[in-house]
Chains A and B, each alone.
Chain A
């Protein structure tokens, strides 16, 4: 019986042997139960190692890494109100940059002078206790608009630049995944009546906590829509329309959730989509 070393067997499992050698191993495996067990063990252990690290992909990426990738951590020293992002020990970013999530990604993507027009009259009255959302969380919209911009740069236009963590475009699967990640039942709205189909979802950070980002594409329009759903401890707030550069935003708070719709489509479209999303209690 020919003896195979571990290197050969591992390479066989990994599909790295040339054709002739792979045939030799396969034939030997078929004839030798002990060898087959060794090969199977290598296969199993590879799967276990993959599985052991798979969950890292699902973890929210810390803000400081998003900042480091943008190369402008110093740009965020002016911190408005909001949730302080705790930085890890021994971070290369000094503690004083511990900024509200708000100021982080957004500052990098959205021009500093990007103003917004004042809150519009409500088109949707979802709340009993109304409060102006924008004054309470001025940077949240910046942050989420930044995420939207990231998507439209890296996700939509060069079609092969998907985020590694963008999840299934299958609605039921995405709903249960988001519900489990956000520890709360989360519905994925159907926007097909607007011509948008579901592209996928991922977890982002909002107000220091995981939030869901659901992306929709419209083949006829090329401008994706993103819906964010995050948790909040703030009071309910009615729907507000806003703008960051060329991104239109509609957002509101209801029952411990902040929901926002982002897109470069006309603001009337964004408002209509928001109204649809808000129907029946929202997401």
Chain B
């Protein structure tokens, strides 16, 4: 029972969008990214090996395209300025910012260095194991661990979620 690749992609779309949202900082950019990934996956469907994880394969495509886009933007001299669209200035959010809010956390994730964001999204949000994340990103498992630790510490530091002055967030700085 081979499920057509288009159907497998459709079933994954909500997760692909979520992963891309963590990478691309705005919903329009992230959907562009998912769309490009769909097109590439269909063109290269024969490269996916049945029996391996389809979601990891798709995440890898999303991540590869995203890296390419970032490089292209850097070449064009477009700064890595944070998209205002990804930074809600909604008054209600501002008012709520005294307390921890999900918007605050999402913003913190968006401010992380690119390579940390990818690891954080794959492991913490998408639930991949360290090994799977390492394979998806094509990096050693130790790299996954160190990026993940830095990402988590930075998110805590940015959101004030640190361990109450015990210095957890700067242990690896």
**Cβ of A169 to closest chain B Cβ, rounded Å:** 18
Q: What total count of A-B pairs have CB within 8 Å? A: 166
One digit per residue, 1 when the CB lies within 8 angstroms of any chain A CB and 0 when it does not, for chain B 99-126 equals 0101101100100000000001101110
A74 within 8 A of B: no
Total B residues in contact with A, Cβ cutoff 8 Å: 57
Pairwise interchain contact B155-A45, C-beta atoms closer than 8 A: yes
Query: Quick one: CB contact mask for A56-91 with B, threshold 8 Å, 1 for yes?
Result: 110101101110111100000000000000001111
**Total contacting residues, chain A, CB less than 8 A:** 52
Most buried by B among A45, A66, A68, A154: A45
**Given A64-B31, A68-B35, A69-B13: A52 in contact with B149 (beta carbons within 8 A):** no
Contact B163 A40 (CB under 8 A): yes
The answer, among B18, B156, B161, for a CB contact under 8 Å with A57, is B18
Asked if B10 and A69 make an inter-chain contact with CB atoms under 8 angstroms apart, the answer reads yes
Q: A42-B156, A49-B105, A52-B109 are in contact. Are A65 and B7 (CB under 8 A)?
A: no
Instruction: State the main secondary structure of chain B at its contact with A.
Output: helix
Give residues of chain A (5-22) contacting chain B, Cβ–Cβ below 8 Å: 5-7, 9-11, 14, 16
A42's nearest neighbour on chain B, judged by CB, is: B152
A192 close to B (CB within 8 Å): no
Which chain A residues numbered 34 to 49 have a C-beta less than 8 Å away from chain B? 34, 37-38, 40-42, 44-46, 48-49
**A163 interface contact, C-beta 8 A:** yes
B70 within 8 A of A: no
Instruction: Bits for B139-173, please: 1 = Cβ < 8 Å to A, else 0.
Output: 00000011011101101100101111010100110
As a 0/1 sequence over residues 18 to 60 of chain B, the CB contacts with chain A under 8 angstroms (1 = contact) are 1001100000100110111011001000000000000000000
Q: How far apart are the CA atoms of A88 and B17 in the complex, in Å? A: 14
Task: Write the nearest CB–CB distance from B53 to chain A, whole angstroms.
Answer: 13
Contact of A7 with B149 at beta-carbon distance under 8 Å, contacts A44-B161, A91-B32 already known: yes
Is the Cβ of B172 less than 8 Å from the Cβ of A45? no
The smallest beta-carbon distance between A17 and chain B, in angstroms, is: 10
How far is it, in angstroms, between the C-alpha of A120 and the C-alpha of B116 when the chains are bound?
Answer: 60
Q: Mark B71-115, 1 if CB is under 8 A from A, else 0.
A: 000000000000000000000000000001011011001000000
CB of B45, distance to nearest CB on chain A (Å)? 9
Known pairs A71-B39, A164-B15; A37 contacts B166 (CB<8 A): yes
Closest to B106 in A: A52
The CA of A41 and the CA of B155, in the complex, are separated in Å by 10
For B105, give its contact among A51, A62, A90, A158 (CB under 8 Å): A51
Contacts of B129 in A (CB 8 A): 16
Please determine whether A90 and B13 come into contact, CB atoms closer than 8 angstroms. no
B162 touches A59 (CB 8 A): no
Q: Is B11 an interface residue (CB 8 A)?
A: yes
B161:A56 contact, CB within 8 angstroms? no
How close is B109's CB to chain A, nearest CB, in angstroms? 6
Chain A residue at minimum C-beta to C-beta distance from B21: A56
CB distance from A19 to the nearest CB of B (A): 16
Contact, CB under 8 Å: B149 / A56:
no
Chain A residue with minimal CB distance to B147? A7
Interface flag for A150 (CB, 8 Å): yes
Question: What residues of A have a CB within 8 angstroms of the CB of B166 in the complex?
Answer: 34, 37-38
Complex contact A51–B156 (CB within 8 A): no
B152 contacts which chain A residues (CB < 8 A)? 6, 10, 42, 45-46
Q: Mark A141-164, 1 if CB is under 8 A from B, else 0.
A: 000000000100110011001111
Q: Give chain B residues whose Cβ lies under 8 Å from the Cβ of A56.
A: 14, 17-18, 21
What's the least CB distance linking A213 to chain B, in Å? Answer: 14
Closest 5 CB pairs of A and B: A38-B168, A68-B38, A37-B163, A6-B149, A56-B18
Complex A-B: 12 CB contacts under 8 Å: A6-B149, A6-B171, A37-B164, A48-B100, A49-B120, A51-B102, A52-B103, A53-B18, A56-B14, A57-B14, A71-B42, A91-B35
